[in-house]
Amino acid sequence: MKRIVVLASGRGTNLEAILEAVKSGDIAGEVALVISDQAQAQALQRAERWKVKALYINPKDYGSRDQYDQALVEQLKQEKIDLVVLAGFMRLLRPLFIRAFPLQIMNIHPSLLPAFPGLNGVGDALNYGVKVTGCTVHFVDEGLDSGPVILQEAVPVIQEDTAETLHQRIHASEYRLYPTAIDLFCREKLKVEGRRCMIID
């Protein structure tokens, strides 16, 4: 069974959806560890409620971003982690981390990439005036939201939408889509060729 770590900085709502999916058997893997860079992250409290090992690793304890990421790598290797799942982790991972886990790091982004990458994907889509946006699960590479796309789901933009109401509907899609992508990884159903990620039987 694949061992998963979830890195989260905030509320951990995607973490909750992932833990629910593991419990119901919709993810053929186990969340072995949750790590946060924020001591007060609700994600850590959620992990503890689910009896999942939870660690706060303070960036201020390390002299540089590379040293911090190296500490994360060492922790994950020690835990024999197969898949790194980013769930609202607000730190950009350094190349040394990404190279330690090639095609083993997933992120979910609230837009249909490559449109509207970066921190304000929902607001940028709304301001641009698109009629459809959504969410994207992708493998993480060394670019910004630029790795191979695993799954996407479209979410229509309603005329009265604010960034908040649109984000709420995108979140509902995320809670379905992310566990599905993680399960495909755990069952070794994903194959990447160049930029294309294919689902295999």
Tens digits of residue pLDDT in 159-168: 999 999 999 9
Last residue of a domain, one of 75, 101, 127: 101
Same domain, 19 and 74: yes
76-98 per-position pLDDT tens digit:
999 999 999 999 999 999 999 99
User: What's the pLDDT at 201?
Assistant: 85
* 21 and 111 both lie in a single domain: no
* Whether residues 63 and 111 fall in one domain: no
Strands (DSSP E) along 25-164, which ranges? Answer: 29-36, 54-56, 83-86, 105-109, 132-139, 149-156
| Residue 109 known to be catalytic | yes
Report the predicted TM-score, pTM, of the whole model to 2 decimal places. Answer: 0.96
What is residue 119's predicted lDDT score, i.e. its pLDDT? 92
- For residue 56, give the CATH number of its domain: 3.40.50.170
* Omega cis (within 30) before 156: no
Smallest CA-to-CA distance from 151 within 139, 143, 140, 142 is with 139
Q: Which residues pair with 5 in a beta bridge?
A: 33, 84
Q: Do 61 and 127 reside in the same domain of the chain? A: no
CA–CA distance, 80 with 199 (Å, rounded to integer) = 25
Based on the domain organization, do 111 and 96 belong to the same domain? no
Same domain? 62 vs 148: no
Identified catalytic residue from 109, 138, 167, 171: 109
Domain containing 1 equals 1-101
Lowest mean pLDDT among 50-54, 88-92, 184-188: 88-92
Q: Angle at the Cα of 67 (from 16 to 150), degrees rounded to 5?
A: 40
